[in-house]
């Protein structure tokens, strides 16, 4: 099999890049996914929140631009702009607030307790209301990107794992479905992006994966499906309605290299403690479900989008951290634009060459023992 572009990974990074690239690139595009369905890992197991007020200004712009697109596509991608309430200290909220880009306002605690009765008994200093945030149907969004890419000729191969790589554009790759030759390789492999980079002799971008759990609780009173999602920056939890119950995270973050999405033995106890101390209105709720998945972040907590400076014809779309849903439209658009207009400059936000060790010797791995 020969293709012009091979994209590794059918999560939001890979599918959105395929969607946008197929609009402007006349060559062939093949998207491969090692699992039996797209979005099997982080892109299908996340909290589905579109949260624009993130800590990094460049990411805020990407999410805000994506959010505008989701609004226009709301029926096709199932975006529900029910708003968000961010709780925390006033200075925490001021740091992430960007009134020129995202409309938001502070709300009185009494009003918040009426809007979200599950917060009764929880104390907080300030609450920021952002009406344009919301919740996505992540399955519809993934299918939307895939259908768009396929309608323009891109192919998707499932159960196809990239195993090793020879050459540099054309790449000759062994996969679990045979040999594939490609002129260009796009690394959209999520938590496995470093493995793919290693196979190709690309830059060793410092990426780490962090396990996070999500729970669904039942027996939660006064829930309405259209209530906003809540995120406490001060106490590290978030929740939103989910099919008659409440989806909740305690924002746990365990760095791991195993990449097995197992449930940690003490995690339900950690949730119970948080509920007991911070969310008394949920003390009688019962746990319906719990699962885990990985958020993969670069050392500087920013995206990695652009051409590699060590391996020829190798392109990155990785390090989406906790923002892959909210940002997916714009990051795919940006990836396609950079793919088609190579500039190889570290000055652009998200460019992988910011991690070249010649530019940043402090990023060179240090030997454990001095010899």
Report the residue from 25, 40, 124, 129 that binds ligand FAD according to the rule CB under 6 A. 40
Both tokens of 258, joined, read 């195993």
Main-chain phi, psi angles of 268, to 5 degrees: -65, -35
Q: Among residues 13 and 335, whose Cβ is nearest to ligand FAD?
A: 13
Strands (E), 299-349: 304-307, 314-318
Residue 332 binds ligand FAD, judged by CB under 6 A: no
Q: Is 157 helix (H, G, I), strand (E, B) or coil?
A: strand
- β-strand partners of 287: 217
| Residue numbers 287-326 binding ligand FAD by CB under 6 A | 293-295, 320-326
Report the residue from 5, 6, 42, 200 that binds ligand FAD according to the rule CB under 6 A. 42
Q: Give, as one character, the DSSP assignment of residue 311.
A: S
| Smallest separation, CB 171 to ligand FAD (Å) | 13
Q: Among residues 126 and 196, whose Cβ is nearest to ligand FAD?
A: 196
Q: Among residues 113 and 155, whose Cβ is nearest to ligand FAD?
A: 155
Q: Is 173 helix (H, G, I), strand (E, B) or coil?
A: strand
| Smallest separation, CB 71 to ligand FAD (Å) | 16
Q: Is the dihedral of CA 365, 309, 338, 40 positive or negative?
A: negative
Residue 162 binds ligand FAD, judged by CB under 6 A: yes
Q: Among residues 109 and 299, whose Cβ is nearest to ligand FAD?
A: 299
CB atoms within 10 A of CB 341: 7
**Nearest in space to 12 (alpha carbons), one of 44, 35, 34, 56:** 44
**How far from each other are the two terminal CA atoms of the chain, in whole angstroms?**
48
Report the residue from 7, 17, 33, 304 that binds ligand FAD according to the rule CB under 6 A. 33
Q: Among residues 241 and 324, whose Cβ is nearest to ligand FAD?
A: 324
* Segment contacting ligand FAD by CB under 6 A, of 44-52, 86-94, 349-357, 361-369: 44-52
- The answer for residues whose C-beta is within 8 angstroms of residue 277's C-beta and 6 or more apart is none
Q: Among residues 74 and 280, whose Cβ is nearest to ligand FAD?
A: 74
Q: Is the dihedral of CA 128, 142, 236, 228 positive or negative?
A: positive
Binding mask 59-98 for ligand FAD (x = CB under 6 A): ----------------------------------------
| Residue numbers 213-252 binding ligand FAD by CB under 6 A | 214
Element (H, E) at 106: strand 105-107
Report the residue from 191, 202, 233, 279 that binds ligand FAD according to the rule CB under 6 A. 191
Residue 194 binds ligand FAD, judged by CB under 6 A: no
Q: Is the dihedral of CA 33, 37, 41, 47 positive or negative?
A: positive
Give the total residue count for the chain.
371
- β-strand partners of 175: 162, 178
**Nearest in space to 13 (alpha carbons), one of 355, 347, 327:** 327
**Nearest in space to 338 (alpha carbons), one of 230, 186, 159, 150:** 186
- The answer for residues whose C-beta is within 8 angstroms of residue 185's C-beta and 6 or more apart is 5, 6, 8, 165, 169, 171, 173, 196, 200, 313, 314, 315
Report the residue from 192, 237, 307, 314 that binds ligand FAD according to the rule CB under 6 A. 192
* Segment contacting ligand FAD by CB under 6 A, of 92-100, 110-118, 185-193, 300-308: 185-193
Q: Among residues 266 and 362, whose Cβ is nearest to ligand FAD?
A: 266
* Segment contacting ligand FAD by CB under 6 A, of 38-46, 100-108, 271-279, 348-356: 38-46
Report the residue from 4, 28, 35, 236 that binds ligand FAD according to the rule CB under 6 A. 35
| Residue numbers 93-132 binding ligand FAD by CB under 6 A | none
- β-strand partners of 6: 30, 185
Q: Is 148 helix (H, G, I), strand (E, B) or coil?
A: helix
Report the residue from 5, 7, 10, 102 that binds ligand FAD according to the rule CB under 6 A. 10
Binding site for ligand FAD (CB under 6 A): 8-14, 32-35, 40-43, 46-49, 161-162, 188-192, 196, 212, 214, 293-295, 320-326
């Amino acid at each position: 099999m020969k293709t012009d572009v091979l994209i590794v990974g059918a999560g939001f990074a890979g599918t959105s890049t395929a969607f946008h690239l197929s609009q402007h690139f006349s060559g062939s595009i093949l998207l491969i996914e090692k699992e039996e369905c797209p979005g099997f890992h982080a892109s299908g197991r996340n909290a589905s929140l579109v949260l624009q007020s993130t800590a990094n200004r460049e990411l805020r712009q990407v999410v805000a631009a994506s959010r505008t697109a989701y609004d226009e596509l709301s029926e096709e991608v199932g975006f529900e702009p029910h708003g968000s309430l961010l709780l925390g200290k006033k200075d925490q909220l001021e740091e992430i607030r960007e009134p020129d880009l995202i409309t938001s306002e502070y709300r009185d605690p009494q009003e918040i307790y009426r809007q979200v009765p599950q917060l009764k008994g929880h104390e907080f200093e300030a609450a920021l209301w952002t009406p344009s945030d919301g919740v996505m149907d992540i399955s519809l969004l993934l299918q939307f990107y895939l259908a768009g890419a396929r309608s323009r000729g891109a192919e998707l191969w499932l159960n196809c794992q990239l195993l090793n790589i020879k050459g540099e554009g054309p790449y000759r790759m062994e996969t679990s479905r045979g040999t594939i030759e490609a002129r260009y390789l796009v690394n959209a492999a999520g938590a496995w992006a470093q493995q793919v980079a290693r196979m190709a002799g690309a830059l060793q971008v410092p990426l780490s994966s962090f396990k996070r759990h999500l729970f669904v609780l039942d027996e939660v009173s006064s829930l309405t499906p259209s209530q906003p999602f809540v995120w406490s920056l001060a106490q590290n939890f978030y929740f939103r309605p989910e099919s008659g119950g409440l989806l909740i995270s305690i924002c746990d973050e365990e760095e791991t290299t195993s990449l097995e999405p197992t449930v940690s033995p003490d995690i339900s106890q950690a949730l119970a403690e948080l509920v007991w101390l911070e969310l008394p209105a949920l003390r009688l709720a019962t746990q319906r479900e719990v699962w885990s998945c990985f958020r993969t972040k670069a050392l500087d907590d920013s995206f990695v989008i652009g051409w590699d400076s060590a391996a020829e014809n190798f392109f990155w779309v990785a390090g989406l951290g906790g923002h892959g849903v909210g940002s997916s439209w714009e990051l795919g658009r940006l990836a396609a634009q950079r793919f088609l207009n190579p500039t190889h400059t570290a000055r652009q936000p998200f460019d992988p060459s910011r991690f070249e060790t010649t530019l940043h010797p402090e990023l060179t791995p240090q030997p454990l023992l001095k010899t």
